[in-house]
A and B are shown apart, each in its own frame.
Chain A
C-alpha cells in the first residue's frame, strides 16, 4: 500500500468527497446537538448547500474577498530565514496581510452573506484570542447586522485590545464566567444564546468544528487559501510544494491551506499543534497528538478529556490554539494517514516568532508562529531545493503585550 489513506475499513480515493450527507468524515463529525437546534441546523444545511452552487452568491463572496479583504494574498519566499537554517526553502502564504490581519475574515464574510440570504439579522459568535470576534464584528459592521460576541472572562483580560476593537466596530462583548472561562466556555455560552434566540439569530462559528454543516462550510470559505496557493505555486515555481504546514487549534487556517492539496498525494502535510509546556507535562492543547476520540461541541473528533469524559483545561501561550477539541476533518486526515500532526511548544513558537521578525521583518501571530517553528524544524532535515509552504495565518500585533509580559518587559 502506498500513501493512500485508510481509516479502519475505509480507504479514501477522493479526499474532496467528504463529508458525507450526514456531515461525517468516516468516524468523525456528525450532528451531536440538542433537539431544539436540529431544525435550524437542517435549515442552515439546506440553505448553504443551495448557496454554494449559486453563481450569484459565489460572485458576491469573491467580490468581497478581492475588494474588501484584499485577496489574493501573496506567497513570499522567506529567503534569509531559509538561508540561515540551511535546509529547504520556506515559503509563506501571507494571510496576515488580509483585512483584520488573519485568515478569519474569509469565513466571516462567507457566513455573514449566508445569514443575510437567510434573513437573520442578529449575529452571535464566540472568540478566544479575539481574532474571530474582530473578524465577525467587522463583517457585521460591513453588512449592517447586530453582533454579540461571547468571550471567556480570562481571555478578555488577556486580549484587551481586541475587546476594544470589537467595541469600536459596534459589537457587544459578553464575558463568560462559567467553566474555565476560556474559548470552550464561550462556545457553550454562544450555543445557549442560539438555543434561546433560534428564531432570529445566526451563529457564526469561527473554526472547522461544531455540528454539521459548520466543519464543511467554514472549510469551504477558507479553502480559497489553498486554491490560491496551489495556483501561485504552479505559476511562481512551476511545481507544487513538497510539504505544507499550518498551525492547528480548531484547524480552520490549516484545512483552508490543506484542502486543495489533499488529492496531491506527493505533497506531505504536517499540522502544528500547541504543545504548551510540553506534551508530557499535561499542559498543552494538542488534541490530535495527545488526545482521544470523543464528542465535543456537536462532532466526534479527538478531544482532551479525563477518564470520566470531562473536558479538561488546555494550555497554550496562544489563545487561538487553546481549545480542547479539533475539527473532525483533521481527525479524519490523521487517521487516514494523509496528514500528520506534531506538537510545537510555547518556547519553540516564541523562538520562531523572534527569528522571523529579525530575518524577514514580519511579526507573526503566536498561533502562526507554531507553524513557522514547524516549518523551521522540517527545513533542517531537507535538501535546499525542497519547498515548504507554511501558512502565516495572522499577524502578531495583537500578541505584542503577551510577548513583552513573558519577557518581563513593561510597556
Chain B
C-alpha cells in the first residue's frame, strides 16, 4: 500500500537530501491554529510533520512538552479535534506526511478500529505510540491494516535482539532516541549517536530519524550526517508557547525552522 511517508523518504533519498521533521503539540498554543502552524512548517521546509497528541501522563516527556500537553488538554483538545485539524491541513496539502505521536490510552478509549478509520479518512499517515514497544505491537494491528505506518522507537539501550525484532516490523522510518532520557533534555552525545545510527542503518533499509535533544541548526546538522532525518520537538514547542494568535504562531514556526532547513540543505552544496 502506498503511503506518503514512504514516498517522502524515497524522494529525499533520490534527491540526496536530509529529512526535517518538526514536532508540535496539537492544540498548543491555540486549538484552532494547528493546521495553520503545520502549513507554516511545510513552507519553512518540513518534510514530515509529527503532531503530538496531548496526554495527561506523558512519562517520556520533559517539562516543555508536558506543559504544552496540559495547556491543550485544559482547552479540551482530544483526538476528535486533532483529526479535524489534520483534515483541515489535508484540504490544502496532499503531499506532506503527518505522523501522530503520543500515548496509547487516548487511542484505546476511542477504539482501535474506529480510530484507524477516522485517522486514515482525515489524512494521517503514521502513528508513533511511545508506550507501545515491539512486544505489544499487535495492539495497533487495526491501524496497520488500515494503511497507517507504525513508527517504532529505537533507544541507546536497545539490544541487537530487540533491534532485529523492531526491524522485522518497521515501516516508514524508525525513530532513534538519541539518549536515555526525556524529551527536551540537554544530553546529546554526538559521537555515540553517530555510532548507534550507523549500526542501525547497516542492518536494513528502513530510514532512520534521530530525535531528542536536537534544538538548533548546529545540532540538527551534526546528528543528520549519518541519519536520514532529524526530529525537532521541545525547542520548537517552547518557541510557539508564547504566541497568542495564529499569525504569531505561524511566523514563529517559520522563523524557527527556516534556518535549520537552510543549514541541512547547505550540507550538500
Chain B associates with chain A: yes
* B60, CB-defined interface residue at 8 Å: yes
* B108, CB-defined interface residue at 8 Å: yes
* Beta-carbon nearest neighbor of A180 in chain B: B56
Interface size class of A (residues with CB under 8 A): 35 or more
- Most chain B beta carbons < 10 A, residue from A37, A40, A184: A37
* A275, CB-defined interface residue at 8 Å: no
User: Which residues from B are CB-within-8-Å of A66?
Assistant: none
Give the distance in Å from the alpha carbon of A139 to the alpha carbon of B109 in the complex: 39
* A272, CB-defined interface residue at 8 Å: no
* A405, CB-defined interface residue at 8 Å: no
Interface size class of B (residues with CB under 8 A): 35 or more
Query: Are A36 and B55 neighbours in the complex by a CB distance under 8 Å?
Result: no
* B244, CB-defined interface residue at 8 Å: no
* B185, CB-defined interface residue at 8 Å: yes
Task: Please provide the chain B residues from 74 to 90 with a CB less than 8 Å away from any CB of chain A in the complex.
Answer: 76, 78-80
Contact of B157 among A39, A295, A298, A300 (CB under 8 A): A39
* B117, CB-defined interface residue at 8 Å: no
Give the distance in Å from the alpha carbon of A14 to the alpha carbon of B185 in the complex: 47
* A307, CB-defined interface residue at 8 Å: yes
Query: Are B59 and A188 neighbours in the complex by a CB distance under 8 Å?
Result: yes
* A141, CB-defined interface residue at 8 Å: no
Expressed in whole angstroms, the minimum distance between the Cβ of A174 and any Cβ of chain B is 14
Contact of B106 among A22, A37, A198, A309 (CB under 8 A): A309
Expressed in whole angstroms, the minimum distance between the Cβ of A265 and any Cβ of chain B is 32
Query: Are B158 and A195 neighbours in the complex by a CB distance under 8 Å?
Result: no
Query: Are B135 and A22 neighbours in the complex by a CB distance under 8 Å?
Result: yes
Contact of B133 among A35, A303, A310 (CB under 8 A): A35
User: Which residues from A are CB-within-8-Å of B105?
Assistant: 294-296, 303, 305, 309-311
Query: Are A295 and B131 neighbours in the complex by a CB distance under 8 Å?
Result: yes
User: Which residues from A are CB-within-8-Å of B96?
Assistant: none
Give the distance in Å from the alpha carbon of A37 to the alpha carbon of B162 in the complex: 12
Contact of A308 among B70, B106, B131 (CB under 8 A): B106
Task: Please provide the chain A residues from 262 to 295 with a CB less than 8 Å away from any CB of chain B in the complex.
Answer: 292-295
Q: Is the interface of A mostly helix, strand, loop or mixed?
A: mixed
Query: Are B133 and A34 neighbours in the complex by a CB distance under 8 Å?
Result: yes
Give the distance in Å from the alpha carbon of A305 to the alpha carbon of B105 in the complex: 9
Contact of A310 among B55, B156, B166, B181 (CB under 8 A): B55
* Beta-carbon nearest neighbor of B181 in chain A: A196
Give the distance in Å from the alpha carbon of A179 to the alpha carbon of B107 in the complex: 20
Give the distance in Å from the alpha carbon of A40 to the alpha carbon of B133 in the complex: 13
User: Which residues from B are CB-within-8-Å of A196?
Assistant: 180-182, 185
* Beta-carbon nearest neighbor of B166 in chain A: A35
* B206, CB-defined interface residue at 8 Å: no
Expressed in whole angstroms, the minimum distance between the Cβ of A354 and any Cβ of chain B is 36
Give the distance in Å from the alpha carbon of A34 to the alpha carbon of B54 in the complex: 16
Query: Are A308 and B135 neighbours in the complex by a CB distance under 8 Å?
Result: no
Task: Please provide the chain B residues from 157 to 210 with a CB less than 8 Å away from any CB of chain A in the complex.
Answer: 157-159, 162, 166, 177, 180-182, 185
With contact pairs A179-B57, A309-B55 given, residues A32 and B162 touching in the complex (Cβ less than 8 Å): no
Interface residues of A (CB under 8 A from B): 22, 30-40, 42, 178-179, 184-185, 188, 191-192, 195-196, 198-199, 292-298, 300, 303, 305, 307-312
Known: A34-B133, A196-B181, A311-B57. 4 other contacts (CB 8 A): A39-B158, A179-B66, A191-B59, A294-B109
A sample of 28 inter-chain contacts (CB < 8 A) reads: A30-B136, A31-B136, A32-B132, A34-B59, A35-B133, A35-B155, A36-B153, A36-B156, A36-B180, A39-B155, A39-B157, A179-B56, A179-B66, A179-B70, A185-B57, A191-B59, A196-B182, A294-B105, A294-B109, A295-B104, A303-B105, A305-B56, A307-B78, A309-B55, A309-B79, A309-B107, A309-B108, A309-B110
